[in-house]
Amino acid sequence: MNCKVYFNNSCSICKFEIDHYKKFTKNIDWIDISSDSNAKKDTNLNAKNLLRRLHVKKKDHLYKGLDAFIELWSEIPRYNILAIILKKPIIYHLSWFLYEFIALFLFYKNKNQLNKIERL
């Protein structure tokens, strides 16, 4: 696979969204950070950083947060236009702040999973 997406399948919101994307592509390797013991090694991230944001590994480059979503959406034809729009400077910066706010909320909502991921 050319693209790997590292996500938290134990988070109901994250799972819902990723399950939606899975319907539209077969070319992505979906890595559940809450159960895959190789996720930390493959990304060179600790459990906290891995849980904090979505990550996408593409051609040996690791994208995080909004940039990860842009890379993910660029791999899904139905979402390609969204990736293009989010690359526009003003839209990117506003979306970045929105993503960080939501990601921080989800991190604290799912922080109890941190010990589990650390033990993997």
Question: In the beta sheet, which residues pair with residue 77?
Answer: none
pLDDT band, very low/low/confident/very high, at 1 (cuts 50, 70, 90) = low
Average pLDDT over every residue of 1-5: 87
81 contacts 9 by C-beta, under 8 angstroms: no
Average pLDDT along the chain: 95
- Mean pLDDT along residues 60-72: 97
* 31: containing domain: 3-119
Tens digit of each residue's pLDDT (9 = 90 or more) over 109-120: 999 999 889 998
* 98/82 Cα distance (integer angstroms): 15
The model carries a pTM of 0.94
Phi, psi of 17 (to 5 degrees): -70, -45
**What span, in angstroms and rounded, lies between the C-alpha atoms of 41 and 71?**
21
Strand partners, 63: 56
